[in-house]
Amino acid sequence: MITAAGKTAVLVIAETRSGEVTPLTLELLGLARELAGPLEGAVAAALVGADPQNADTLIAYGADRVYVCGNRDATQYGGDVWVPMLEELARKTSPSALLCGHTPVGADLAPRLAFRLRSAVAMGCIEVKCGSGKLFFTRPCYGGNVRETVSFTTSPAVATVKAGVGTPAADAARKGEIVQVAAEPLKGRARVIAREVETAGKRLEDAKIVIAGGRGLEGAEGFRVLETLADVLGGSVGSSRVPCDLGWCPPSWQIGLTGKTVTPDLYFAVGISGAGHHMAGCGNAKTIVAINTDPEAAIFREARFGLVGDYRKIVPALASAVAKLKQETQP
């Protein structure tokens, strides 16, 4: 049963991976807490099918109420299972805003929920603000070159939010309510029959250091050069869209508007021109280092440090300098 105690300001749709709440979900809770004050309501989180112990994590990071929906079988995202369950939850809790991460789950789920709830949706938001009780969502468009700010006349305002917008804040002493929501087992009209993981090991989104290559690498072997630097730095290798489309690297390496959003401390853009659609995926990195043969490349307007020259020389020089530094600093 769903209790109606207290107005729900924001409903956050939680995502889990390997049984753990994703970092982006924790960011959304941080953002929801910021909005809950001016909206004068509570923060609710929906945890579909997942381990109820994750409910405690969601409470610690800001949820006043966690709705644990359905049974364990529903943990893995299936639109036909999640959408009706969350539609019903949204109807009963009537939040002002419904937030999902801008992920393959959120980007599938959010527009479907918006249509079912007779509302609208803002996709890939990079800022959410509340002013005079009204919510404003800012999102990049035109390949990341333009910013659009939208509001809604219908409720809930549905949005997918990118990484780096909310700040997660844990407080183990926070109290919250856990509500079990039973759901009829549903047979989806679209059924997952297999799942294939192509990138084992460290996730690009969680990496503190990312070394990304673009068209300027001029071939798949360029990524081997980047990997040498990634190895000594303990970073991950990513790509702009062109190398993925040309098959120089797996599609899952793609950073940008149609790929992943990364927010590392240090981002190396190697042979990347710096087009808006790529910057949409890495613009929130703390420090960008650009390596490019073209001194006029747009990436030098985005970067903190720039090196003009051939990556085939510069990247190995960096890798050996980092390796030398490590030797010197290690006892």
Partner 1 sequence: MFIVVCVKQIPNPDAAFSMLKVDEQSKKVVPAAGLQLVMSPFDEQAVEAALRIRDARGAARITALCVGPESARNVLKHALAMGADDAVLVRDDALEDATSETAALALSRAIAQLGAVDLVLAGRQAADWDAGIAGAGIAELLDFPLVTFARKVDVLERCVRVERVLADGYETLEADLPAVVTVSNELGAARAPSLRETMRAARKPLTVRTASDIGLHAEEIAVMRARRVRERLHVPVKQNCCEIIAGKDEHAQAATLIQRLREARLL
Contacts (CB under 8 A) with partner 1, residues 244-303: 244-245, 251-252, 257-258, 260, 265-266, 276, 286-287, 289-290, 295, 300-303
- Of 23, 84, 111, 168, the residue at the interface with partner 1 (CB under 8 A) is 111
Tokens of 121: 């949706």
| Contact call for residues 250 and 199 (beta carbons, < 8 A) | yes
**216-235 binders of partner 1 (CB under 8 A):** 233
- DSSP for 290-323 reads EEES-TT-THHHH-SEEEES-HHHHHHHHHHHHH
Long-range CB pairs of 189-192, under 8 A, 24+ apart, other chains included: 189/80, 190/78, 190/79, 190/80, 191/78, 192/76, 192/78
CB nearer to partner 1: pick between 64 and 205: 205
Q: Measure the CA–CA gap between 120 and 258, rounded to whole angstroms.
A: 21
Q: CA–CA separation, 98 vs 121, rounded Å?
A: 9
Applying the rule CB under 8 A, the residues between 91 and 110 that interact with partner 1 are 103-104, 107-108
Of 33 and 241, the one with the shorter C-beta distance to partner 1 is 241
Q: Which residues in 10-29 contact partner 1 (CB under 8 A)?
A: none
Measured from the CB atom, the residue of 170 and 246 that comes closer to partner 1 is 246
Whole-number minimum distance, CB 227 to partner 1, in Å? Answer: 17
Nearest CA to 163 out of 276, 268, 260 is that of 260
**123 binds partner 1, rule: CB under 8 A:** yes
Angle ∠(53,58,62) on CA atoms, nearest 5: 150
- Taking alpha carbons only, the member of 259, 264, 261, 274 closest to residue 230 is 264
Shortest Å distance, C-beta 224 to partner 1: 18
- State both tokens at 5: 């105690």
**Distance in Å, CB of 175 to partner 1, minimum:** 33
**Smallest distance, partner 1 to C-beta of residue 238, A:** 12
Site for partner 1 in 164-223 (CB under 8 A): 188-199, 203, 205
Residue 180 or 313 having the CB closest to partner 1: 313
Site residue total, partner 1 (CB under 8 A): 85
CB of 85 to partner 1, least distance (A): 15
Sequence-distant (6+) residues with CB within 8 A of 261 are 102, 162, 163, 164, 205, 255, 280, 281, 282, 284
Q: Which stretch binds partner 1 (CB under 8 A): 36-44, 52-60, 137-145, 167-175?
A: 137-145
Site for partner 1, residues 31 to 50, rule: CB under 8 A: none
- Give the interface segment with partner 1, choosing from 45-53, 88-96, 121-129, 214-222 (CB under 8 A): 121-129
